[in-house]
Structure 1
């Protein structure tokens, strides 16, 4: 008859926001799959779970063996002579960030935890060193691939955001140009009248004063300045030369 493992279950999963209830936590795919494996092991009489501890960080840089929850589970299990049962140790190790893999081996060796891998039906310490290294290598490769996918996704979203911002900027520029062109058409006769009053060499400052005196708003809805009046003169000159489209 197979040995019955008395243990505390440990469930670890990243989530975008912290679940507000146990029901909401159980609906998370990563949580549900681990709980299902632990329950199956219990139903089959391979594991007797004293309790199940859930650790659900929102920060993807969090490492399970540095989490207070894991440390508390290990301490309680050690004090009560229990194992720490994880659904799939390979998956759990695959959540470790690449930078932390250098200390992962030492942690598993020195944590004092008796880790029972439900998927393999084996204690971590009972696995041959070669198998332990294989598991860690596969987990590291999987972590690197996931990290690249995440970075790739972020890069794509960033590029899309930049492209959208550029498109919006172009739309804004085109709209401003159209408003300025239409205003130049409307003010042609007014500018010509001011030109006749001031003389052929119409200065932007004199035009701005004349437009403000007549309470004609600038393209942006405010008062005319030297620069805005200068741009108006240039646009009207282009219109007269047929260089500026009227739409």
Structure 2
């Protein structure tokens, strides 16, 4: 009798801020819930999880199927002759922007690795079009509701800002500078590593850095994509830090 194929588990969640330690990852409710579902599947199915890849992002425009760690999980499963285990495909799609949900379904269809939904004890490939349709519709409706809530929150925030007294302007400027400095310290190693890839004497361009930051899924100040100007400011701050506090 053939042994059941092993599993590579992938858990993903969008977060309000970057998670920097295993303790923070373990404390995240969405990731903890997914891991619980996957471990329960391992126990009831008799399958063995070879490796678990935990992923999180503050950048909500990129769906989970486009994440570098998702591709890593797929490659790991392929090389090990294993299947990929997701806790709840519908939940992952629900957290995806509405205009990217179909992209997720197409990406799952194109994979040459078997994808298991631990909550359903089913593979993606075994689900019929009729079974997938309500999953996609539910995810789209949830994404729309979340988008409307975010827009309402932005409108309220703008209204509150318009009422702020002028005396708070300087405090706001100082707070923004502190945040920018903290972000530069956080991304310093990444920027320096991109600089190190260049030939001697060649400077890192803002556009090149912006492309690298976006590809790595690292969010800008407002949680969106990096532009030429925001990357230019980051380079300047990192260079100032390198002069003030050179690497040992």
Normalised TM-score (structure 1)? 0.62
What displacement does 1:111 show? Answer: 2.4
Partner of 1:133: 133
What do the CA deviations read for 1:52-78 (whole angstroms, capped 9, x no partner)? 101111212121111111111112212
**Residue 56, structure 1, aligned to residue 76, structure 2:** no
Report the counterpart of residue 83 of structure 2 in structure 1: 83
Distance 1:153 1:113, change over 3 A: farther
The answer to whether the 8 A contact 1:85-1:115 is kept is: yes
Residue 38 of structure 1 corresponds to 38
Q: How far is 1:6 from its partner?
A: 2.1
Instruction: Supply the distance in 2 between the matched residues of 1:127 and 1:63 (Cα, whole angstroms).
Output: 21
Counterparts in 2 of 1:126 and 1:96: CA distance versus 1, 3 Å: same
Unmatched segments (≥5 aa) in structure 2? 170-248
Q: Highest CA radius of gyration, 1 or 2?
A: 1
How far the C-alpha of 1:5 sits from its partner, in A, is 5.6
Alignment partner of 2:35: what SS? helix
* Alpha-carbon distance change, 102 to 122 in structure 1, aligned in 2, over 3 angstroms: closer
Would the aligned equivalents of 1:90 and 1:136 in 2 still touch at CA under 8 Å? Answer: yes
Match of 1:85, SS state, is strand
Aligned equivalent of 1:157:
157
Q: Secondary structure at the match of 2:36?
A: helix
1:91-130 to structure 2, matched below 5 A, reads: 91-130=91-130
TM-score, normalised relative to structure 2: 0.62
**What is the CA RMSD across the aligned residues, in angstroms?**
2.2
Tell me how far apart the structure 2 counterparts of residues 104 and 10 of structure 1 sit (CA, whole Å).
Answer: 15
In the comparison of the two structures, how many residue pairs are matched? 167
Give 1:150 deviation, angstroms.
1.6
Q: 1:4, CA displacement in angstroms?
A: 5.1
Asked if structure 2 preserves the Cα contact closer than 8 Å seen for 1:34 and 1:88, the reply is yes
